[in-house]
């Protein structure tokens, strides 16, 4: 009889999976706890064993030092037998010091501590030869007073004695009283060097593996023997060396020379390796988590910084995807068009801020850009947007491709500038220039009014003379018709001459700015020559003009360029008149300029006089507005001339004329050479 295994329901399957994973998690937790416990126990055991060894060694060393000090006291007492003679005592003391390297001096002193005999160690130079024994007497007195009080050996606190080699020794005084029949007869004083005491009483093997030192109760190190390995695991133990009259601490620092005893070695090593691996993984995970947190914090700071920067901009920012939908707008753009972000994001064509009458044009332009992917010019293009209230305003749009982190284009980023104020300022500037030009023309006409009256007197007088002569001829019988015809023709010529003079001034005053147009350079000179000649005849100036044939036409605003020529010519004639130049001459010249560009030519206009020239202190301020050397001048003529020339792309400069005078030159763009 067979059994058919049925699949578990989904609910039970989920419970089984959860139990399996929970058991694995529990097992992992138990293994981890076991690993941690075993490692902790092993480390604790190792530490306790190493510490116990150090403490045992320190206790043994202290016991050895105590025994050595007691033996030294007994051997020092043997000198009592030789105290009858100083020489004999010194001989016995020197033999005794050869067996005790830790002594540097032995003294025999009287009941009042007067020095009777002494002996220095043969293993080093006399310790007190440099500064004398007097500096150490307080310690000797301290030890001997304590020895007399307890009727036994006593020690003084250690003291430092400098040596001639730049170093020094930490010394300790031992005083042993000599008492006979209850009466003090003297003292034997032995001076220990603590360093040699450690070196002679501690085994050499212990000194190679451990550092042993004498310290005070506050931790101040007095003497040291052996060198510890810095940077390794060090175990320390301290033992109190309590001597009559002095107390010191014996400190022992030991490092682990080999692997300590483990239980068992293989299992502990395996557990240690696994623990290190687990800790390493946890450390790497923690490091990665911290790095990710730092990156997230940096990203949040960068986003906050970018948000604050975009919110503070007055330039509108707009991002669109490759389908033309708006994906981002900054507050400046929303304020510019009057729409909120929720009204702009996600919208495609037509955008809410497109004027209805221009929506088709904008849609076609956007479709072409999205289809071809061609970026607009870097300097941007002008367009017209519509605010939410229906007002139109001009904008300058600068677009660039929007590239993601993988280097793929995901859309377009646009910077939008509201240029309404710029257009208003340009219009005000243009109107102001028109008013300045009109004012300058009217001022010129006012100055020429007297010249006109003088110039018109001659043709009017001639007309009157011819008219009177004709009347006389008509009163005569049989007057010849040929003479009447000549008189009438002369009258007509003089009337036409007067009309031309009046018309030239009338045209100059009423003329307004026009669009730039190609004009022959000779026509520009001919337009201002009548007005120039009026002033030239009054001032006695000879005017010459040189216009070679075959020059190309110039693209300019005719009225403004004529104003420049007239101002420069009038200034030149006035300068020559004020300097009372003999035979003044004014030259108006046109030629091809040396300046050239690819596919573009320039013509140079020159106004040359033979006046006194321009002083050095005036040259620096010549084109400064409202600067003038004339009592009745406004200081706007040359400034206006340079502005007009620079608006045409040219340059207005001046230079001395040879042998005297000044040359004013300015350039204007000319027609390009025809392509063959």
Entry pTM: 0.38
Tens digits of residue pLDDT in 469-499: 778 777 776 667 777 777 787 778 767 767 7
Instruction: Return the DSSP state at 581.
Output: -
Q: What pLDDT is stored for residue 154 in this prediction?
A: 92
Whole-number Å distance between alpha carbons of 535 and 518: 29
Residues 562-584 have pLDDT tens digits of: 878 988 898 888 888 888 888 88
Helices (H), 407-480: 420-475
pLDDT of 83 reads 65
86-97, pLDDT tens digit by residue? 888 888 888 888
CA distances from 530 to 508, 522, 611 (A): 11, 13, 22
Q: Does 254 have pLDDT greater than 90?
A: no
Please compute the mean of the pLDDT values over residues 369-392 and round it to a whole number: 76
- pLDDT at position 608 is 93
Instruction: Report d(CA 86, CA 108) in Å as an integer.
Output: 9
Q: With beta carbons less than 8 A apart as the criterion, state whether 398 and 383 touch.
A: no
Q: What mean pLDDT comes out for the span 151-156?
A: 90
Edge-to-edge strands, sheet with 234-243: 221-225, 210-215, 246-255, 234-243
Is the CA virtual torsion 605, 611, 616, 621 positive or negative?
A: negative
Tell me: pLDDT of 379 over 90: no
- Could you tell me the fold of the domain covering 516-676? Heat Shock Protein 90 (3.30.565)
pLDDT at 264: 47
Q: Which CATH number fits domain 428-512: 3.30.1300.10, 1.10.357.10, 1.10.287.130, 3.20.20.80?
A: 1.10.287.130
User: What CATH number is given for 314-418 in this structure?
Assistant: 3.30.450.20
Summarize pLDDT for 295-334 with one digit per residue, the tens: 888 888 888 887 777 777 778 888 888 888 888 888 888 8
- Are both 314-418 and 516-676 of the same fold? no
Q: Distance between the two ends of the chain, CA-based, in angstroms?
A: 109
Q: What is the per-residue pLDDT for 267?
A: 55
**pLDDT tens-digit profile of 458-468?**
567 667 777 87
Least trusted range by pLDDT, from 77-86, 172-181, 209-218, 524-533: 77-86
Q: Where are the domains of the chain?
A: 67-255, 314-418, 428-512, 516-676
* 3-state DSSP helix/strand/coil % of the chain, to nearest 5: 50, 25, 30
The residue with greater pLDDT, 625 or 141, is 141
Residue 189 has pLDDT above 70, yes or no: yes
Domain 67-255, second-level architecture: 2-Layer Sandwich (3.30)
Return all residues near 571 (Cβ < 8 A) that are at least 6 apart. 637, 638
Total length of the chain: 676
């Amino acid at each position: 009889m067979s059994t058919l295994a049925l699949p578990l329901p989904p609910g039970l399957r989920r419970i089984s999976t959860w139990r399996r994973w929970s058991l694995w998690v529990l097992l992992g937790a138990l293994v981890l706890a076991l690993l941690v416990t075993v490692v902790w126990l092993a480390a604790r055991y190792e530490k306790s064993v190493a510490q116990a060894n150090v403490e045992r060694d320190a206790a043994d060393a202290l016991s050895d030092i105590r025994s050595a000090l007691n033996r030294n006291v007994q051997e020092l007492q043997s000198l009592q037998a030789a105290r009858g003679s100083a020489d004999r005592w010194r001989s016995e003391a020197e033999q005794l010091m050869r067996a005790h390297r830790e002594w540097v001096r032995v003294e025999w002193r009287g009941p009042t501590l007067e020095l009777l005999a002494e002996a220095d160690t043969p293993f080093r130079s006399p310790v007190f030869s440099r500064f004398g024994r007097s500096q150490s007497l307080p310690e000797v007195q301290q030890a001997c007073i304590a020895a007399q009080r307890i009727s036994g050996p006593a020690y003084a606190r250690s003291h430092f004695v400098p040596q001639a080699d730049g170093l020094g020794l930490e010394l300790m005084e031992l005083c042993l009283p000599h008492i006979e029949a209850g009466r003090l007869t003297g003292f034997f004083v032995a001076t220990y060097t603590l360093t040699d005491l450690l070196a002679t009483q501690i085994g050499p093997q212990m000194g190679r593996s451990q550092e042993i030192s004498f310290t005070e109760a506050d931790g101040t190190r007095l003497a040291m023997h052996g060198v510890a390995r810095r940077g390794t695991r060090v175990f320390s133990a301290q033992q109190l060396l309590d001597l009559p009259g002095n107390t010191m601490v014996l400190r022992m620092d030991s490092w682990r020379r080999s692997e300590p005893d483990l239980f068992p070695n293989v299992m502990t090593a395996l557990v240690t390796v696994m623990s290190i691996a687990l800790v390493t993984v946890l450390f790497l995970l923690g490091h990665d988590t911290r790095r990710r947190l730092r990156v997230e914090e940096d990203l949040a700071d960068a986003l906050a910084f970018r948000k604050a920067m975009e919110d503070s901009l007055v330039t509108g920012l707009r991002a669109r995807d490759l389908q033309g939908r708006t994906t981002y707008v900054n507050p400046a753009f929303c304020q510019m068009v009057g729409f909120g972000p929720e009204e702009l994001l996600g919208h495609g064509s037509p955008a809410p801020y497109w004027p209805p009458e221009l929506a088709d044009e904008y849609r076609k332009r956007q479709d072409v850009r999205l289809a071809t992917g061609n970026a607009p010019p870097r300097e941007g293009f002008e367009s017209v947007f519509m605010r939410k209230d229906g007002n139109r305003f001009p904008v300058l749009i600068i677009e660039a491709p929007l590239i993601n982190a993988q280097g793929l284009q995901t859309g377009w980023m646009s910077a939008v500038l509201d240029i309404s104020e710029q257009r208003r300022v340009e219009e005000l500037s243009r109107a102001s220039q028109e008013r300045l030009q009109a004012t300058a023309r009217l001022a010129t006409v006012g100055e020429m009014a007297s010249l006109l009256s003088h110039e018109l007197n001659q043709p009017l007088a001639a007309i009157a003379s011819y008219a009177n002569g004709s009347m006389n001829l008509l009163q005569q019988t049989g007057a010849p018709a040929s003479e009447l015809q000549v008189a009438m023709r002369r009258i007509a010529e003089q009337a036409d001459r007067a009309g031309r003079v009046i018309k030239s001034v009338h045209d100059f005053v009423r003329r307004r700015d026009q669009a730039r147009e190609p004009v022959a350079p000779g026509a520009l000179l001919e337009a201002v020559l009548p007005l120039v000649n009026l002033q030239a005849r009054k001032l006695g100036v000879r005017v010459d003009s040189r216009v070679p044939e075959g020059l190309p036409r110039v693209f300019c605003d005719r009225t403004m360029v004529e104003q420049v020529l007239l101002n420069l010519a009038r200034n030149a004639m006035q300068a020559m008149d004020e300097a009372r130049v003999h035979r003044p001459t004014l030259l108006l010249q046109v030629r091809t300029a040396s300046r050239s560009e690819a596919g573009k030519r320039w013509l140079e206009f020159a106004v040359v006089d033979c006046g006194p020239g321009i002083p050095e202190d005036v040259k620096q301020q010549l084109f400064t507005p409202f600067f003038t050397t004339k009592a009745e001048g406004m200081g706007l003529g040359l400034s206006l001339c340079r502005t007009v020339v620079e608006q045409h792309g040219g340059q207005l400069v001046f230079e001395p004329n040879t042998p005297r005078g000044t040359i004013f030159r300015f350039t204007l763009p000319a027609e390009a050479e025809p392509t063959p």
